[in-house]
A and B are shown apart, each in its own frame.
Chain A
Amino acid sequence: MYEGIRSPAVHMPKTMSDLVSASTRFPNATFWAGGTFIMSRHDYYPTRDSNDIISLNEVPELKRINRTDRYLEIGATVSFEQLLTVGKQVLPGLLQMTLERSATKIVRKQITVGGAICTPQIRLTLPGTLSALQAEVEVKSCMGPKTETRWLEINRLYDKKGAFLLKKNDLVTRIRLGFEREDFSCHIAAGDPMTNPGETVMLSFACFHNQSVVDRFRMCITFPTSMFLIPHEVDMMMHGTMLPLTTQQIERVVRSIMEEVLSSSDHEIPPIQVERSRRFIESALHELNAQSLSER
């Protein structure tokens, strides 16, 4: 213990109501799930005024993976590794792929789903995939004696630049996914979002089609510190389109998305991110075509 450096008090609530109560009594406390992002910040330790810690790991509701008739519900403190091991039969392929590629097993045992969604300054790979799968999150707002609970689409947690929009005393408790499985999905990433965010691009894409007619076309492009883009216009543009796509259709989609990418940022986007985005989108569409042709 060191004079001049406060040792944060660690609160370990055992139930949801204890958690809400702790959050109200200690409004400046830091919610702690896996702690990987918090501990990875250079200035976290040592600091003079460390906030108290509310550890979320003892609350059973947050650790559960639940299957209802319509949804798969995942507690916020479920680790990536737990989710992969338990959910192998039920997880969408895109989500499995994203979880496996996001980190090694050693680190996956520590990263939690809630933590990966709620990182304040940087957007990692999971939110984009959950957005492509149209996942929803349960948010509890702890405002004194009143607690408000609501379900939100995951893309409402972030603005176009990827900034996290929830308030300090909002807590993500569960994530839910529908059981409808995408007909085609792909996840492409290049770069390391933690060490080289200025060059990193992550693309998650899920396409639902019915007898070669596109029904839903969900894509999410993430630049870790500057963009979280879901091109909604493309979804409308592609609805009802026959697969495989023609060269002109591919070019039109790429052009449309790239226009949105370039117009969504106030300052100049590094050329490598622009070029990678373009190539990722093209590659994803060519893969979609290849799959639709092979299914015939």
Chain B
Amino acid sequence: MKIECTIDGKHLLLTVNSNKPLNLILADELETPLLTIRCRDGSCGNCVVLLNDEAVLSCLIPAFRLKGARVLTFEGYQKTRFWHDLERAYEDTGSHPCPHCYASKTLIFESLLQMIVKSESGASRDEEPDEETIVREIGLNKCPCLDAHEMLDIFKAAATYRRRRRVRRY
């Protein structure tokens, strides 16, 4: 199957099996370092990428869903300005995920920050995430390195930076 999509800003025409999981496509096509944790059943939560600006588990996305899609891996996300909000939040709080799950948890934080932006702009009926939602969402990644309070502190710090960024746009 031939599939046109954009991965980390690069427009690609992929020739892959229609049911090949996205995480394997990323490993093969981009030669990004192979995700070192690959449970193959969606249970570890370590393969998170942004698909059309929404966080997904890439091991559960088949190739045929990628037509015209925009995929952003952690490497691509680090080149965006949004990454700095989380980078600074990690520094301010003195907490960050361990190297095992750093990429995945960062992208999950990003998906939560987008909920704030969308709910404040009225673009989505989602409410701003409460504590339980934040802890549960980050818990999608099963690495136990961060506890609930660290997750909440990081999110609050990053949310402050994200709101300031929105205010500066106007």
> In the complex, how many residues of chain B place their beta carbon closer than 8 angstroms to a beta carbon of chain A?
33
B97 within 8 A of A: no
A110 touches B19 (CB 8 A): no
The residue from A8, A46, A85, A107 contacting B18, defined by CB atoms under 8 A apart: A8
A10 touches B1 (CB 8 A): yes
Tell me, rounded to whole Å, the shortest Cβ–Cβ distance linking B153 to chain A: 20
B136 touches A5 (CB 8 A): no
CA A105 – CA B45 in complex, angstroms?
13
Contacts A1-B15, A39-B21 hold; do A10 and B64 have CB atoms under 8 A apart?
Answer: yes
Scoring A7, A42, A85 by chain B CB atoms within 10 A of each residue's CB, the highest score goes to A7
Binds A, one of B55-63, B69-77, B143-151, B159-167: B55-63
The interface bits of chain A over 1-38 (1 if a CB of B lies within 8 angstroms of the residue's CB, else 0) are 11001111110000000000000000000000001100
The B interface, classified by DSSP as helix, strand, loop or mixed, is mixed
Tell me, rounded to whole Å, the shortest Cβ–Cβ distance linking A8 to chain B: 5
Tell me, rounded to whole Å, the shortest Cβ–Cβ distance linking A81 to chain B: 9
Contacts A85-B126, A195-B43 hold; do A109 and B54 have CB atoms under 8 A apart?
Answer: yes
A40 within 8 A of B: yes
A39 touches B18 (CB 8 A): no
Query: Please, which residue of chain A has its CB at the minimum distance from the CB of B59?
Result: A39
Report B-chain residues with C-beta under 8 Å of the C-beta of A44: 19
CA A55 – CA B63 in complex, angstroms?
13
A165 within 8 A of B: no
B1 touches A36 (CB 8 A): no
Contacts A35-B60, A39-B62 hold; do A107 and B41 have CB atoms under 8 A apart?
Answer: no
Tell me, rounded to whole Å, the shortest Cβ–Cβ distance linking B146 to chain A: 15
CA A55 – CA B19 in complex, angstroms?
12
Scoring B15, B16, B60 by chain A CB atoms within 10 A of each residue's CB, the highest score goes to B60
Tell me, rounded to whole Å, the shortest Cβ–Cβ distance linking A65 to chain B: 14
B15 touches A39 (CB 8 A): no
Tell me, rounded to whole Å, the shortest Cβ–Cβ distance linking B49 to chain A: 11
A53 touches B18 (CB 8 A): yes
Report A-chain residues with C-beta under 8 Å of the C-beta of B113: none
A105 touches B133 (CB 8 A): yes
Report A-chain residues with C-beta under 8 Å of the C-beta of B60: 35-36, 39-40, 107, 110
CA A45 – CA B137 in complex, angstroms?
27
CA A50 – CA B63 in complex, angstroms?
14
The list of the 10 closest CB pairs from A to B, nearest first, reads A7-B17, A40-B41, A104-B140, A39-B60, A40-B42, A10-B64, A106-B55, A104-B137, A10-B18, A42-B40
Q: List 18 A-B contacts (CB under 8 A).
A: A1-B15, A1-B16, A8-B18, A9-B18, A10-B18, A39-B42, A45-B19, A45-B20, A50-B19, A53-B18, A85-B126, A104-B137, A104-B140, A105-B137, A106-B108, A110-B57, A194-B42, A194-B43
Using a CB–CB distance below 8 Å, which chain A residues touch chain B? 1-2, 5-10, 35-36, 39-42, 44-46, 50, 53, 55, 85, 104-107, 109-110, 192, 194-195
Additional pairs, 15, CB under 8 Å, beyond known A35-B62, A35-B65, A104-B139: A1-B1, A1-B15, A8-B17, A8-B19, A10-B1, A39-B21, A39-B42, A40-B60, A45-B17, A45-B24, A50-B17, A53-B18, A106-B108, A106-B111, A106-B137
